[in-house]
Amino acid sequence: MVADMNRPIRVTIWNEFLHEQTEEHVRGIYPEGIHGRLAQGLDGRGPFEIRCATLHDPEQGLAAAVLDETDVLVWWGHRAHAQVGDEAVLRVRDRVWAGMGLVALHSAHFSKIFIRLLGTPCTLRHRVAAEREMLWVVDPHHPIARGVPDRIVIEQEEMYGEPFAIPSPDEIIFLASFAGGEVFRAGCTWRRGAGRIFYFQPGHETYPIYHHADILQVIANGIQWAAHRI
C-alpha cells in the first residue's frame, strides 16, 4: 500500500446522485452532479487521476473492477444509505483495510461504510438551517491543513453539532461553529488496517459549498493524505 510516489493518485468520487436529479435547486448548483463538480474542482489540486461512480452504475458503482483501480475513494451520500448493499459495503471495507484511502464527506457520516469502519453510531445533533459556519484549523501542522487559511467561513450550511458519536479521532484537524452556537469536530482522521480515513463535514447539497476554493483544497489535501503521500 505504499504507492509509487511518482504515479498519479487514482481517485474515485462516488456520489449517490439523487438530489441533483430530483431537486431543481440542487441541480442549479451542481448541474453535473456533486461528483462532477468535485472532479472539476479537484482537478489540478494534486497529482490526481479522477473518475466518478454513482449508485446508478453497475454494482452501485462499487464493483471490484472499480475499486481495483482506486487509491482513494471520496464518498458523498445522504438519502440512499440503505440502498447500498451489504456486499458492496464489505468490498469497500476490505479495500480500506488493504490500504485504500477513504474521504467521507458531509452526510457520509451516516453511510453504512462509515459506521462499519468506525464501529460507533455516528449520530450527531442536526438542524435544517441555512446558517453561517466557521471552520477553524486546530492542528495547523497537519498535512491536511497545508495551504488552508486559519478560518474558513461558509455563508450557508446545514447545522451539524456535538455530540458526534465517533471513536476518539486519531487527529482532529478542523473544528466548526455554527451561527446558532453549536460546535462540531468537522475534520477528523482514523486509521483502519492499512487504510486512512478522513471525514470532512462541509457539503450540504443545497448550498454551493464545493465551489469554495478552500473547501476543495482541504479535500485535495485529504486525498493526498489518505493516499499516504503527505
User: Which residues here bind a second copy, judged by CB under 8 A?
Assistant: 1-2, 97, 99, 116-121, 132, 134, 136-141, 143, 146, 150-151, 153, 161-165, 167-168, 170-172, 175-178, 181-183, 185, 190-194, 228
CA 226 to chain centre: 11
Nearer to a second copy, 25 or 153 (CB): 153
Q: Three-state SS for 9? A: strand
> Minimum Å distance from CB 2 to a second copy?
6
Nearer to a second copy, 37 or 109 (CB): 109
Among the listed residues 65, 64, 91, 77, the one whose alpha carbon sits nearest the alpha carbon of residue 13 = 77
228: region left, alpha or beta (phi > 0 left; psi from -120 to 50 alpha): left
Nearer to a second copy, 57 or 134 (CB): 134
Nearer to a second copy, 62 or 188 (CB): 188
> Minimum Å distance from CB 64 to a second copy?
18
> Minimum Å distance from CB 24 to a second copy?
32
Q: Three-state SS for 167? A: coil
> Minimum Å distance from CB 60 to a second copy?
20
Q: Is the N-terminal amide bond of 140 cis, ω within 30° of 0?
A: no
In whole angstroms, give the CA distance from residue 37 to residue 163.
Answer: 31
